[in-house]
Every structure is written in structure tokens, then in C-alpha cells.
Amino acid sequence: MTALAGQVAIVTGATGGLGRPIAVALAAAGAKVVATGRNVERGEATVAAITVSGGEATFLAQDVTRDEDWQTVIAQTIAAFGRLDAVINNAGDARLAPIEELTLQDLEYLLDLNLHGSFLGLKHAFAHMGTDGGAVINLTALPAYGGAVRQTAYSAAKGALAHLTKAAAIAGRARGIRVNNIVPAVLFAGGEVSPGAVRVQGDPAAAELFKARAIAQSPLKKLGEPDDAARAAVFLCSRAGRHISGIDVFIDGGRQAGGN
Amino acid sequence: MTDLKGKLALVTAAGSPIGAACAARLADAGHHVIAADTDGTAAAAVVALIRQHNGSAEFAPLDASDERNWRAMAGHIRTKYKRLDVLVQAAMTLLVKPFTETTLADLRSLARDNIVAPWLGLRHCAPLLREAGNACVVNLTSTVGRTAHGGAAALSATAAGVRMMTKSAALEWGPQGYGVTVNTVNVGSVPWRPHAETTQDDLDLGPAIAPSEVAEAVLYLCSPAAKYITGMEITLDGGRSIGFPG
């Protein structure tokens, strides 16, 4: 596949979760991928997964909440590949608890990682994307679009990010920079799970319960796979997505469509 | 019964620029396309073009706002193919008129073309879509159903109606276990019908969108890559309808 031939993409949090399948899918579509994250070993494993099938990728250690790290990542990306076409702000985290138990530190941590980190990614993308424009994708979640139990802090952080995307999409219009949200919920494959499911990792009984509930809540009555989100990213970065900006691509089996 | 090598797709308003592009793209991706339209000449030309490119297609007359027409269409598909894998409803009638000059007849006519027609399509194709297993429906409508537009009250109302009708069908059909996905593509500035009294030029809907780009979005929603996407909307307008662009 060559939908992204010639493109250069940065994927944050490409050390696991959805970051790895997104990085792999972009590379499989022909993009040169800069995979970033905090865990070198897991980041190198993502690069290996790409190069083994003939793709081109490199890993750079990065804490997305640090502006200096972004400067380094952008400089090295331009030095290695000469251009920047896509930034996938995938790095993020969730902390789920009743509001009485959440601390200000929890909220600040979630804002830092989910909102401020993606904001820096956007700023640097806008500064370094060329005259051809490009694509920025932010990863949000269903609690960004409505309240959810135990997710006050997470809703606030992802909700802010979802709207940052829309404002940035308007800002990017004149330059051909498109900014969209991908909203995964709930995606399972092997051991990889979405944020809501992290808390049940290592507890098979709880994981089964979580999966059963997610299936029951999904209008399609099934779980999605990380690759569903990865292929949405390829679509948004490709020429087919050239007039798509400011939208929310829900990969959720129809949950956001309404309730009944 | 005819055995199909690929999947079967029904495209309404196939003689319109968007319908024609969707029909051609689906045929190119291996579907047998039923190109349906009231305008036989335009749809027949689309069929001829698809065949020229070694694709597979047939023309079928359809007035999508007439229930008897849909019954006949569903009967034809059931007899010949037994199932329907893809339904793309590409008809859209535009009307730009000040609110106080818009008559009840205008509203009724627009509701008939823009809401009743795709509702009938969903209603009568439902059993055939279930038969297919992993079928998908894409309803196309205008971005004025997302962001209201002065001088287009009836149009905005009917376009918004399509969005909610589509989501409701997604919520209803998903749980029945047939795997039918139902999504909307909102399109900005695009030629819905050439020579129409009202065209997209009467509205300021953002950059010109090529029908082929609409077809790419439709094809994505009909591909295995989008199998977990239902009740969702893709908006193709370069970001015009996001918020408050100033």
C-alpha cells in the first residue's frame, strides 16, 4: 500500500497500546515513522515490528509534556527525513476513581499528559509542517463527549483536548493543516487494552467482566481492535482525507450515536 | 439467482456527480453496482463507463421518494441476488430561500427528497442488508445539517434529520447481530445535481469538494477498516462547519 508514500509521521506513545499499531499501519502505508515514548525497549520493539516487514522507522525517547523533548524530536525528524507531514498525539493516560478520591495531582497529571502534551505536539507541527500542510491526529475518548462514572478528571482532560482539536482545525485551515480526533472505545487485541481496561489487567476475571460489559454496551455487540483505530489514522493522513478537518472519528461500535 | 464474485452495492442518484463517483469507485473496488436513478440517461452513462473500465454494473430505474419503487427494487435484488452488501444513498435536493418566503410545499418537497427517500431505502433494504452479514449503509447529506445556514432553514432541517435517522438505524440494527453499519457523510461544497435551480454556489460551504473525494470517504466506511464504525459521521468540508471560524 502506498497511500502515505513520501510522508513522514511522528507517533507519540508508540511504545504500546494504540501507538504501536498506529505506527505499524502508517509505515505499512508507506510513511517513514518516528516512534516516540518513554520506554526505549518497548519503542525499539515497535521499530523492529516495522522494519521486519520492510518499513522505515526510528525510535526517539520523548516525554511529551516537555517542550525541550519536542524540540529535539522535531529537529531529529527533520534532520533524518527532511520533512514532517503527520503528528499522531497518541500518548495519554487515564486515572479512574470517584471524585472524592481523586487528587489535584491526579487532575494535573492527566491534563499534562493528555492536553498539554498534545498541545505541544500541535504547536510544533504547525511550526514545522511545510507548504503542503499536513495532518495532526489527537486521540480522545468517549468521556470527552459526555460524562462517565469515575472519570471526572479524565473527562475534563480529554474533553479539553477534543475542543483544542476543533480550534486548531480552524487555525490550520489557511495552511492546509488538518486536525482531527480519533475516539477509540473499546478496543481489545491480545493483551493490549484501552485506558478503561488498564485497571483490570492481570485480573482475568475482572477483565472478562469488563469485556462482557463493553460488548453489551456496544450497539454492534462486539469489541473493536486496535487496528481499527490504526486504519482510521491512515485514512485521515491520506489524500482521501484531504478535506476532512475538525471531525471526531468514533471507533466505538456506535456507542456515541445515542443511548437506549 | 446470479452468483456474484464480489459484493453487491446499490447506489441511488447514481446519475448525479456524487452518485456516479461512488458507483465508479465501488465498482473499481470489485463491487457489482446497481446504479439507480430517475434519470436513466445519466445513470446508463455511468454504467457504460464502469463497464469500459472492466467493472460490473447495471442500471435500475428508481424514484427514491416513492415506496412502490423501493418495493420493486428490493424485490428485484431479492430475486436476482438475495442480499445487499452496500447501500449508498446519494440524493440531496438543495433549496436556498429566505425563511419567510419558504412555503409548506417547499418544506414538504425537501423532506420528501432528503428524508423520506433515504428512510424508504433503509426500510426496504433492511432485510437484504441483514442477509449479507457485514453490510453497510452510507447516507450522504449536506453540512448545513451540522451548522445552520441563513436562507436554508428547510435544507438545514432535512439534512439534520438524515443524521439522526442514520444514528437511530445504527443503534437499532447493531444489537440485532447482523453486523450492519450505518453512517453519514456530510458534504460541503459539491455539485449534488447539475442544472438544478439551487446549487451549492448559493451557499458558502467551504472549499470545492470533488465527487471522487466523497467516494473515497464512502469506500472507507464500506471497507473492513471501518467495520467497528457505526452511527458515525464523516464531514467533508475542509473544516468549515467546525465552529466559529470568523
Residues B13-45 pLDDT 10s: 999 999 999 999 999 999 999 999 998 999 999
What pLDDT, on a 0 to 100 scale, did the predictor assign at position B1? 57
Say yes or no: domain A8-185+225-249 is CATH 3.20.20.80.
no
Instruction: Report CA-CA distances (Å) from B228 to A37, B8, B102, B143, B194.
Output: 27, 20, 41, 24, 35
Cβ neighbours of A258 in B, within 8 Å: 167-168, 171, 231
Q: What pLDDT is attached to residue B200?
A: 64
Tell me which residue in A166, A219, A246 faces B170 most closely, judged by beta carbons: A219
Q: How many CB pairs under 8 A join A and B?
A: 115
Number of helical H runs and strand E runs in chain B:
7, 7
Burial A26-42 (b: 16+ CB within 10 A, else e): bbbbbbbbbbbbeeeeb
B161 in contact with A at a CB cutoff of 8 Å? no
Predicted pLDDT at B55:
96
Domain regions of chain A by residue span: 8-185+225-249, 191-223
B45-77 confidence digits (pLDDT tens) = 999 999 999 999 999 999 999 999 999 999 999
From chain B, the residues in CB contact with A250 under 8 A are 229, 231-232
B178 interface with A at CB cutoff 8 Å: no
List the pLDDT tens digit at each of the 260 positions of chain A.
Answer: 699 999 999 999 999 889 999 999 999 999 999 999 999 999 999 999 999 999 999 999 999 999 999 999 999 999 999 999 999 999 999 888 888 899 989 999 999 999 999 999 999 999 999 999 999 999 999 999 988 888 889 999 999 999 999 999 999 998 999 999 999 987 776 554 555 555 566 677 877 888 888 888 888 988 898 999 999 999 999 999 999 999 999 999 999 988 64
pLDDT value, residue A128: 96
- Contact yes or no for A170 and B230 at CB 8 A: no
Residue of B nearest to A230 (CA): B225
Structure pTM?
A: 0.89
> Could you read off the pLDDT of B188-220 as tens digits, one per residue?
988 877 666 666 677 778 888 999 999 999 999
Q: Which residues of A touch B188 (CB under 8 A)?
A: 243
pLDDT of residue A23: 98
Q: How far is A67 from chain B (nearest CA, A)?
A: 28
Amino acid A203: pLDDT: 75
pLDDT number for residue B149: 79
Query: Which pLDDT band holds residue B174 (cuts at 50, 70, 90)?
Result: confident
Rounded Cα–Cα distance for residues A220 and A240 (Å):
26
Residue among B237, B187, B148, B155 nearest B18 (CA): B187
Residue A58, C-beta contacts closer than 8 angstroms, at least 6 positions apart: A33, A34, A35, A47, A80
Task: Tell me whether residue B5 is exposed, middle or buried, using C-beta atoms within 10 angstroms of its C-beta: 0 to 12, 13 to 18, 19 or more.
Answer: exposed
- Give contacts of B230 with chain A, Cβ < 8 Å: 219-220, 253-254, 257
Least CB–CB distance from A257: residue in B167, B226, B234: B167
**Please, which residues have CB within 8 angstroms of residue B127's CB and are 6 or more apart in sequence?**
B74, B78
Cis peptide bond upstream of A34, omega within 30:
no
CA distances from A205 to A95, A201, A202, A208 (A): 21, 10, 9, 5
B246 band by pLDDT with thresholds 50, 70 and 90: low
Question: Any CB–CB contact under 8 A between B234 and chain A?
Answer: yes
- Interface-testing mutation among A138, A173, A243, A244, with chain B (most B C-beta atoms within 10 A): A243
Domains, chain B, ordered by start: 8-237 (3.40.50.720)
Q: HEC string of B67-86? A: HHHHHHHHHHHHHHCCCCCE
Confidence of residue B183 (pLDDT cuts 50, 70, 90): very high
pLDDT of residue B13: 96
Reference B98, options B149, B33, B28; nearest CA is B149
**Cα B112 to Cα A107: distance, rounded to the nearest angstrom:** 50
pLDDT in tens, B70-129: 999 999 999 999 999 999 999 999 888 888 898 999 999 999 999 999 999 999 999 999
Chain center to CA of A20: 10
In this complex, the residue of A187, A234, A245 whose CB is nearest that of residue B239 is A245
Spell out the residues 6+ positions from residue B234 whose beta carbon is closer than 8 angstroms to its own: A244, A247, A249, B183, B184, B185, B186, B217, B220, B221
Of A234, A242, A253, the CB nearest to B174: A253
